[in-house]
Structure 1
Amino acid sequence: MSHDQNFKNLILDYPRQALDFFAAGDPIEHLAEAEILPVRQEQLKERLGDRFRELDVPLLVQWPDGRREALLFVLEEESDPRRFSIHRLAHYCLDLGELLETDRVVPVVIFLRGRSPRYELIQGSDHQTYLSFRYLACELSAIAYERYRESDNIVARLNLPSMRYAPQDKIDAYAHAVRGLATLEEDPEKQLKYIDFIDIYAVLDDNERARYERDYPEESEIMSTFAERFIQQGWERGKQEGALEGRQAGRQEGRREGRREGRQEGEAAMLSRLLQLKFGELPPQVLTRIGAADVETLLVWSERVLITESLERIFDEND
């Protein structure tokens, strides 16, 4: 699973909220008045060369009135703290600062699990320090979820399942993440996108899912609505594709067949996407089975994605 890509999407979709939350250790004054621009990594590859310095999202924060100098934020997600290199991060920030002609660079590292091994890099002799480098560390698993349980920052709410909580509070963290998504995001496409994000990092088993549906019926209904909307969108896309194919064929039978095939392809594509988001790369036999299934069967399997944590159970003919 690409955690880097998940967090890159999150930061690019909600840059202001991401900086407010992930860079809380260095609060930015008048951030609401600033313009935030992502620095495209494609522009940096030739200069930096080494693929290991391609971090998630450099964000340039500029104030249109010109009264404040621009700030460059470099945000990196690190799933395994053992892989983190403070030397690599320092090198990247120096290169990036030189490229953009600024010394106002704020490195931010988001640790998904565990603690960061090293916060500071100091180079020098017995008598002098010639380089002193530090970064902001956002250790999600060390943050008490109660701090952000009712937050109006959507980035914080979406990350509740990755924060610290007692075992009995896991369902509550999940429910408040879902509620935050429903209340803070109005765009249906982003709602569908980030219900997947919540599910990926909550990892509820079947028993926890049942408890959630029992104890949080309102939030459970929200999830059902998201799922129904996703299925409906897939059906509409399939119908449109089928209708187009039928018109091109110029025959009534062609239109009917096109609609059937178009809907099947739309449902199959939707199910494959859901499964890949939840379980990663799919085995060839699963893709073959999806491609051969009818629309009704695909709808049943799509609904099961939201209520089971086992890939095999989704296709269980006895359920």
Structure 2
Amino acid sequence: MADKDIVSKETIRRLAVDLATYLLELPIDPHSLEVLPTEHQRVEDRRADLVVKLRDRTGEPFILHIEIQNSNDDAMPIRMLRYMTDILLAHPGLPLQQYLIYIGPEPLTMPDGIEGPGFRYRYGLRDMRSVDCRYLLEKDTPDALVLAILCDFGDREPQVVVNHIYTRLKALLGDDLKRFREYIAMLHILSDNRDLQAEIEEADKMLTQVDLERMPFYEAIMERGVRQGMERGMERGMERGMERGMERGREEGEAALLIRLLNRRFGPLEPEIERKIREASLETLALWGDRVLDAQTPEEVFS
């Protein structure tokens, strides 16, 4: 995106629905979301400010306001209170739900509200340090994968987690370039809140290097696979041969991607390991790819 400060409505829509569904677990109708025209509707460095109109599952409308904070701020309750008054003045008559999502490296010390003489103000508070990223990674959907960038990586190397998110997004959305770009844009936005710009940049480079559909060797693999399939098809039936040729082409492409990931994680692989990868099925390659995230040695990937 040319300007990260101003985010497209579609990106805001996806972020709001995903945060409400996966992290806040709100019972919403995701198709009812309406991005509200407010000057606060932007994503800035180190802070996301989302204000949208939704309906719950009973059809009742409400406004959802989400703040993402990556450091403790003693003034946060006052800021949230200010947002509340601004939003309610701009949209009278609608109930408001506010949530603060904390993603900082230090223990959370911010309160979930403020009290004074004659008043008590509260908002929802979610500490992402308590959310293991595997909770979202194992869902293996594009939306959950993107939000995993906000969670606690534990003892996992940040670059390994980011690379895993990228490669799974590519596998899930590779045929839909428009949606793939939208999710990558969301990753870029959310990574600013986690100071993961360097890891994202490295993953971008990796993805460029292994963008198989645009690389000559991938085209050669596909061509060879189709040709072999056609030759077999002359004997066993053209349709079956073509399908097997295309499948083999995909297998070789996925194998090349896994080999590159393992080389980046563990260094040059033994020839026997490369041979094992290149002979594996698509299902086996996907299983090994998931194991790269937590493996400490190449052997653990294949155990």
Residue 50 of structure 1 corresponds to none
Q: Measured at CA, do residues 82 and 11 of structure 1 come closer, stay the same or move farther in structure 2, by a change above 3 Å?
A: same
Structure 2 gaps, min length 5? 42-46, 216-303
Residue 17 of structure 2 corresponds to 16
Q: Distance between the aligned counterparts of 1:61 and 1:69, measured in 2?
A: 8
SS of the residue 2:210 aligns to: helix
**Would you say the 8 A contact 1:161–1:170 is kept in 2?**
no
Q: Measured at CA, do residues 83 and 123 of structure 1 come closer, stay the same or move farther in structure 2, by a change above 3 Å?
A: closer
Which structure would you say has the larger RCO, counting Cα contacts within 8 Å and 6 or more residues apart? Answer: 2
Deviation at 1:138, TM superposition (A): 3.2
Q: Measured at CA, do residues 68 and 8 of structure 1 come closer, stay the same or move farther in structure 2, by a change above 3 Å?
A: closer
Amino acid at match of 1:224: V
SS of the residue 2:104 aligns to: coil
Counterparts in 2 of 1:58-207, with a 5 A limit? Answer: 58-62=51-55, 68-82=59-73, 85-102=76-93, 104-114=95-105, 115=108, 117-124=110-117, 130-185=118-173, 187-195=176-184, 198=187, 201=191, 202-203=196-197
| Alignment size in residue pairs | 201
Residue 35 of structure 1 corresponds to 32
Q: Distance between the aligned counterparts of 1:84 and 1:188, measured in 2?
A: 42
Q: Distance between the aligned counterparts of 2:48 and 2:137, measured in 1?
A: 29
Amino acid at match of 1:100: H
Q: Distance between the aligned counterparts of 1:227 and 1:85, measured in 2?
A: 47
Deviation at 1:134, TM superposition (A): 1.8
Q: Distance between the aligned counterparts of 2:88 and 2:172, measured in 1?
A: 34
Q: TM-score, normalised by structure 2?
A: 0.51
**Would you say the 8 A contact 1:17–1:153 is kept in 2?**
no
Deviation at 1:40, TM superposition (A): 1.0
Q: Distance between the aligned counterparts of 1:222 and 1:92, measured in 2?
A: 41
Q: Distance between the aligned counterparts of 1:199 and 1:226, measured in 2?
A: 22
SS of the residue 2:115 aligns to: strand
Superposed CA RMSD in Å reads 4.3
Amino acid at match of 2:125: A
Residue 210 of structure 2 corresponds to 224
Structure 1 gaps, min length 5? 46-53, 125-129, 213-219, 230-319
Q: Measured at CA, do residues 163 and 228 of structure 1 come closer, stay the same or move farther in structure 2, by a change above 3 Å?
A: farther
Q: Distance between the aligned counterparts of 2:144 and 2:54, measured in 1?
A: 20
Q: Distance between the aligned counterparts of 1:140 and 1:134, measured in 2?
A: 19
More divergent stretch after superposition (86-95 vs 193-202): 193-202
Q: Measured at CA, do residues 196 and 100 of structure 1 come closer, stay the same or move farther in structure 2, by a change above 3 Å?
A: closer
Q: What CA deviation, in whole Å up to 9, does each residue of 1:250-275 have, x standing for no partner? A: xxxxxxxxxxxxxxxxxxxxxxxxxx
**Would you say the 8 A contact 2:9–2:35 is kept in 1?**
no
**Would you say the 8 A contact 1:178–1:198 is kept in 2?**
no
Q: Measured at CA, do residues 226 and 28 of structure 1 come closer, stay the same or move farther in structure 2, by a change above 3 Å?
A: farther
SS of the residue 2:65 aligns to: strand
Deviation at 1:94, TM superposition (A): 2.7
Q: TM-score, normalised by structure 1?
A: 0.49
Q: Distance between the aligned counterparts of 2:209 and 2:109, measured in 1?
A: 34
